[in-house]
Amino acid sequence: MQQKIASLENSLSTMENNVSGMQNVLMLKDEEIAALGKKLLQQSIAHQQLVDELNITKMRIKNLTGIRIKVVSKLKETLGDSIQIDPKSGAMRFASNILFNQGEYTLKPGARRELQRILQKYIQTLLLDPEIREYIEGITIEGHTDSVGGYLYNLALSQKRALEVMKFLYKSDPENSDLYAKYLSASGRSYSDLIYDDFGIEDKEASRRIEIKFRIKNEKAIKELEKFLEH
């Protein structure tokens, strides 16, 4: 009898140990489930943050596009149809033969009248209107040449031509020289951005030009984001 009791006690002790072990396992699983739930919650929050940031980025891109459209529309409204600007970028272009003699960088007498009639009005539209100016980061006067001659020779020529146009603005409108100093820059591009006809042949006359371009604030960063979102 005592042996049976001892045997039963051993069996009961074993069962108690097994139950205790199972409880420990269940407790461990509960902890694992809780940890997994916490991790999933953190991932869900992080995912939502990414979604929110993506939506904000898309909105910024949309706003930037709207701002450029607004600026271009204002330019068209002020300048009228007689002055051609790029309908998308708002850039303005002057053929070099209108402004300069072949191989020279001194403005022709007639060129000064043309610049005063067109370019000065273009620049002032961007800078003198406070509603437009708040969006403008900078305005660049770019000189471009055709591919005839060496790159460095054309680089120097294009830089001098761009600088000559910039000097004209300063001299013809000294009252706004502080604004010009803040927003305007001049750059020579040599023949790094040639223009080609429909047959892929360089259009030398079109390539020789002065271009005036404006930049919207944060435009470069937004374009980088836009490229990233396209992938």
Domain boundaries, the chain: 66-230
Which position has the higher pLDDT, 215 or 35? Answer: 215
Please, are residues 57 and 225 in contact by the beta-carbon 8 Å criterion? yes
Strand order in the sheet with 136-144: 92-95, 209-216, 136-144, 184-188
pLDDT digits (tens, 9 = 90+) for 28-43: 566 666 666 677 677 7
pLDDT at position 120 is 87
**What's the mean pLDDT in 165-189?**
93
pLDDT surpasses 90 at 230: no
- Kindly report, residue by residue over 113-149, the tens digit of the pLDDT: 889 888 888 998 899 988 889 889 999 999 999 999 9
**Which of the four pLDDT bands, split at 50, 70 and 90, describes residue 4?**
very low
Confidence of residue 72 (pLDDT cuts 50, 70, 90): confident
Question: CA–CA separation, 141 vs 184, rounded Å?
Answer: 7
Q: What DSSP string runs through 97-114? A: HHHS-TT--SPPHHHHHH
Answer with the residue of higher pLDDT: 38 or 201: 201
Q: Under a CB-based contact definition with an 8 Å cutoff, are residues 114 and 84 in contact?
A: no
pLDDT at 38: 72
Poorest-confidence range of 35-44, 75-84, 95-104, 220-229?
Answer: 220-229
Residue 3 clears pLDDT 70, i.e. is over it: no
Give the span between the Cα atoms of 133 and 88, in whole angstroms. Answer: 18
Angle at CA of residue 215, ends 156 and 95, nearest 5°: 45
Instruction: Kindly indicate whether the domain formed by 66-230 is annotated with CATH number 3.30.1330.60.
Output: yes
Residue 80 has a pLDDT of 77
